[in-house]
Amino acid sequence: MGHVTYSSEITRGVSTTLNFCPAKAGASTWAVGTDWTPATGDSKVSIDGGSPANTTNLPSHVGHGMWELDLADDETGGDRVIVIIEDAGSAIDGVCFNLTTVPGADRQLILDILAKAIQGTTKKGKRGGSGAAPGGALPGGAGVGIGAGR
């Protein structure tokens, strides 16, 4: 099947579980627990282009060719996280995760502040408010479409 690359977004600085199905090397089937026993060095993480380092945890087989790898908080702390999973003994075809991180609590705090600001600009009890900030935009000209027509 060959090497596989997954791309996704994860929350920065928060532990996460990566799920994947590696192909058995040279075959057209998924690798199961009897095909590969992960060892130190089989999974590496690079944060923001840094040198790859062994992951805190090793991949584990959850059944039927499905595997997972738990990344620790500090392994998701950059803007871009690359995880490479490959067996030194060539039991599986390599898997690569190209992960972009998004802010976690900071992002939610900003969304909460914006939502409260928007709610404060509509009259209570009056239906049909636009839900937008005065002038229909936020500072910098960004439009808002939350709660339109409510």
Task: Identify the structural domains of the chain with CATH numbers, from first to last.
Answer: 4-102 (2.60.40)
Token readout for 113 is 């502040």
pTM of the model: 0.69
pLDDT score for 55: 98
The percentage of the chain sitting over the pLDDT mark of 70, rounded to a whole number, equals 75
pLDDT score for 104: 75
pLDDT in tens, 38-86: 999 999 999 999 999 999 999 999 999 999 999 999 999 999 999 999 9
Non-local CB neighbours of 146 within 8 Å, separated by 6+ positions: 114, 115, 118, 131
Work out the number of other CB atoms within 10 angstroms of the CB of residue 125: 6
pLDDT score for 122: 56
* pLDDT surpasses 70 at 116: yes
C-alpha span between 7 and 82 (Å, rounded):
9
Q: Furthest-apart CA pair in the chain: how many Å? A: 68
pLDDT score for 106: 65
* pLDDT surpasses 90 at 139: no
* pLDDT surpasses 90 at 89: no
Look at strands 66-71 and 53-54 and give their pairing.
Answer: unpaired
